[in-house]
Amino acid sequence: MDQKAGQEKDNQQKEFVKAITPKSVDYSQWYIDVILKAKLMDYAPIKGFMAIRPAGYALWERIKEQFDRRFKETGHENAYFPMFIPQELLEKEAEHVEGFAPEVAWVTKGGDEILSEPLVVRPTSEAIICDFYSRWVQSWRDLPVLINQWCNVVRWEKSTRPFLRTSEFLWQEGHTCHRSEEEAEEEALKMLEVYRECIETEMAIPTVVGLKTDREKFAGALRTYTVEALMSDGRALQAGTSHNLGQHFARVFDIKFLDQDDQLKYVWQTSWGVSTRLIGALIMVHGDDRGLKIPPRISTYQAVIVPILTKKDREKVLQSVRELADQLKDVVRVKLDDREEYSPGWKYNDWEMRGVPVRIEVGPRDLEQGKVVVVRRDSGEKISVNRDELAAYLPRLMEEIQNDMLKKALEFRKANTNRGSDYAEFEKIMETERGLYLAPWCGDAECEEKVKDDTRATIRCIPFDQGAEGETCLVCDKKAEHSVYFARAY
């Protein structure tokens, strides 16, 4: 590379990096800069709403595809329910409506007509779906009901942030009915495991799973289970929840079935969901000061080919990379960037910003040598590969990148997880380092509330695999009932 070309590349890189605020300077602004620069979304004229641009929606499609496959493999079917809920239905379950009342969006007029009964834009669909289930379920032969829907919901949030907390977002919500509490509990835990496995396997995001406290559980639920992830600023994110609804909604909405013993019984229900906030998690777990880093399994493109063109060899290189793209399309999701209005250096930075796992550089010299240069987005490593070995090499490389990204995220979580029972130490860590803090808790809501008031940290979950035998509560001197994960959270 001559001096002039090298200077041009340096300038291009500086311009790209300058567009992103470093994480260390302002994490929140870094997050917004990455989202906007990578063209994942754009702000709508109404506060808290956004347009998801093609790059962002393609990510959601990949994530959705992975979850949807698993739902169907576990016997669930997709359906769709109305987005408007009559006020009367929402208000049937008091605890439920109280939990959502501050976030509800109301429709009071249709065309020129004032509605006789206001309608709610669904904040979640338990009320409307239970109304249908009360008619659909009559006999034990109708059970279990295993239905999921992909849709949008509206919650009028006061404080919003793209993908993480918006007034409208996309999600899936599973709603199931069962003959017994044991079956419902099995379902709730099964879907929790589906979430954990999918998020870790496909998105390379390590999680902790467990039970929510009564204070943090879903309004109207018997029990709420959660999948929690740690972001790179040390704050936790609730990545997905699964609820055992018990018979609360069944009794309110009269969902009964005639069992084999000729007795009328109420069904036992679950609901569970993940949303587009997973895109926010993806950005914050893996992204860096150059933009996105997307794990290969969910990346829209796994590899991008960038030709290095000269006047002399332009046609030869173009023909070669087009053939290469055609050869690779059956082994990886490949994109050929043959735009001639941009320089190779600009393209390098552009695709790094978008987080494509691998860049393949092909120039006249590479052509002569029968090689290509493969550049990893996760590590920046450059590898010279024989062209005739590339098709076999890339799938192995994708798995290596996927595993390395999960390993790096796991190492970060381990380094940012503390355990102890010293309240002063805990307060200091929550203020300075953040991260997860595993501590004994007596089970008293007053201690839980004190922690939140003092540190803004909450109990993220009561993990399944941690005990508290012989320990005393982090906050008071009472005997601990559980070990729990505390963290500040989004």
Letter string b/e over residues 159-177, b meaning 16 or more CB atoms within 10 A of that residue's CB: ebbbbbbbbbbbbbbbbbb
Residues 282 and 393 in one domain: no
Residue of 125, 141, 144 lying closest to 253 (CA atoms): 125
Q: What is the CATH number of the domain that holds 121?
A: 3.30.930.10
Is the predicted pLDDT of residue 248 greater than 60, yes or no?
yes
Sorting pLDDT into bands at 50, 70 and 90, what band is 19? confident
Residues 143 and 258 in one domain: yes
Residue 58's domain comprises 27-286
Q: Is residue 402 part of a domain?
A: no
Q: What six digits make up the tokens of 479? A: 């005997």
Is the predicted pLDDT of residue 11 greater than 90, yes or no?
no
Q: Is residue 403 part of a domain?
A: no
Which is it for strands 436-441 and 417-419: parallel, antiparallel or unpaired?
Answer: parallel
Residues 200 and 87 in one domain: yes
State which of 329, 364, 397 marks the end of a domain.
397
State which of 261, 286, 311 marks the end of a domain.
286
Is the predicted pLDDT of residue 10 greater than 90, yes or no?
no
Report the alpha-carbon distance of residue 33 to residue 46 in Å, rounded.
20
Sorting pLDDT into bands at 50, 70 and 90, what band is 3? very low
Answer for the pair 391, 328: CB distance below 8 angstroms, yes or no: yes
Task: Return the beta strands (E) in 139-280 as ranges.
Answer: 145-154, 168-178, 208-211, 223-230, 236-246, 256-258, 264-266, 268-275
Q: Is residue 8 part of a domain?
A: no
Q: What six digits make up the tokens of 174? A: 């599973």
Q: Is residue 13 part of a domain?
A: no
Residues 131 and 205 in one domain: yes
- The one-letter amino acid at 363: G
Q: What six digits make up the tokens of 308? A: 């290095």
Q: Is residue 116 part of a domain?
A: yes
Q: What is the pLDDT of residue 2?
A: 43
Residues 137 and 202 in one domain: yes
Which is it for strands 303-307 and 334-336: parallel, antiparallel or unpaired?
Answer: parallel
pLDDT in tens, 399-454: 999 999 999 999 999 999 999 999 999 999 999 999 999 999 999 999 999 999 99
Answer for the pair 294, 204: CB distance below 8 angstroms, yes or no: no
Residues 163 and 267 in one domain: yes
Q: Is residue 356 part of a domain?
A: yes
State which of 228, 255, 286 marks the end of a domain.
286
pLDDT in tens, 149-193: 999 999 999 899 999 999 999 999 999 999 999 999 999 999 999
When divided into structural domains, the chain yields a total of: 3
Whether the pTM exceeds 0.75: the reply is yes
DSSP string, 240-260: EEEEEEETHHHHHHT-EEE-T
Between 461 and 96, the more confident residue is 461
Which is it for strands 208-211 and 303-307: parallel, antiparallel or unpaired?
Answer: unpaired
Q: Once rounded to an integer, what is the mean pLDDT over residues 212-233?
A: 96
Report the alpha-carbon distance of residue 254 to residue 351 in Å, rounded.
54
Q: Is residue 17 part of a domain?
A: no
Q: Is residue 19 part of a domain?
A: no
Name residues whose C-beta falls within 8 Å of residue 30's C-beta, 6 or more positions apart in sequence: 20, 21, 22, 23, 287, 289
Residues 281 and 333 in one domain: no
Report the alpha-carbon distance of residue 76 to residue 178 in Å, rounded.
13
Residues 257 and 327 in one domain: no
Report the alpha-carbon distance of residue 389 to residue 14 in Å, rounded.
34
pLDDT in tens, 70-119: 999 999 999 999 999 999 998 887 776 777 788 899 999 999 999 999 99
Answer for the pair 398, 332: CB distance below 8 angstroms, yes or no: yes
Q: Once rounded to an integer, what is the mean pLDDT over residues 329-343?
A: 96
Residues 428 and 379 in one domain: no
Residues 238 and 375 in one domain: no
Residues 230 and 346 in one domain: no
Residues 377 and 460 in one domain: no
The DSSP symbol for 387 reads G
Q: What is the CATH number of the domain that holds 430?
A: 3.30.110.30
